[in-house]
């Protein structure tokens, strides 16, 4: 009853909660298994490196299409557990497409941020972003087929590319059920 793999993220953040200034995990794993990228959607901070491997018994290609960072285009051998390390030094305004040029149906998306205020919806369409700074915050909502998604929620001011909310210090905000139209995902 929800839509998975939707990115929800602040466009920028001047303040970062002290506990979140640096990523807890310095390395993220990105696999190619069963001719699929796992995970399909990944939030990456600029202080993290992504270890790209392949658990498949065939060769794959890792090809990224960033807007600000350097593109990577490398072949991975079958069952390549050494893989490659990918570092993104700059935040991206939109999720970056990653694909395999050998198997054209294989694609995934990475959202590269220089702050911790971004996530992706789970298989039930749920998400949580913790320790958002107090004040008016602008969020973008993006999905691979729909592009920007506008939301319909009583707790957020709707915009064409996401929503704005006012966060009070120490407050938890529940956006409730957010409705999107099915025609956005065709």
DSSP 46-97: TT-EEEE---SSS-EEEEEE-SSSPP-EEEE-TT-SS-EEEE--S--SSPEE
Mean pLDDT over 148-171 rounds to 72
Q: Given this model, what pLDDT does residue 42 score?
A: 98
Q: What is the pTM of this model?
A: 0.91
Mind listing the pLDDT tens digit for each residue in 27-58? 999 999 999 999 999 999 999 999 999 999 99
Q: Given this model, what pLDDT does residue 20 score?
A: 94
Q: Kindly tell me the sign of the dihedral angle through the C-alpha atoms of 16, 21, 24, 26.
A: positive
CA-to-CA dists, residue 29 to 116, 144, 170, angstroms: 18, 21, 33
Q: Given this model, what pLDDT does residue 152 score?
A: 58
Q: Given this model, what pLDDT does residue 129 score?
A: 93
Cα 29 to Cα 84: distance, rounded to the nearest angstrom? 10
Mind listing the pLDDT tens digit for each residue in 56-105? 999 999 999 999 999 999 999 999 999 999 999 999 999 999 999 999 99
């Amino acid at each position: 009853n929800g839509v998975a793999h939707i990115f929800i993220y602040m466009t920028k953040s001047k303040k970062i909660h002290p506990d979140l200034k640096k990523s807890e995990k310095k390395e993220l794993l990105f696999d190619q298994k069963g001719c699929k990228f796992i995970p399909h959607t990944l939030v990456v901070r600029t202080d993290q490196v992504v270890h790209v491997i392949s658990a498949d018994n065939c060769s794959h290609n890792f090809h990224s299409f960033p807007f600000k960072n350097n593109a990577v285009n490398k072949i991975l051998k079958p069952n390549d557990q050494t893989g490659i390390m990918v570092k993104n030094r700059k935040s991206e305004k939109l999720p970056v497409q990653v694909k395999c040029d050998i198997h054209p149906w294989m694609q995934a998306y990475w959202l590269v941020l220089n702050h911790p205020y971004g996530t992706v919806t789970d298989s039930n369409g749920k998400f949580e972003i913790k320790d958002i700074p107090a004040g008016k915050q602008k969020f973008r909502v993006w999905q691979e087929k729909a592009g920007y998604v506008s939301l319909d929620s009583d707790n957020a001011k709707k915009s064409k590319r996401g929503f704005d909310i006012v966060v009070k210090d120490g407050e938890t905000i529940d956006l409730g059920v957010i409705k999107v139209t099915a025609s956005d995902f065709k």
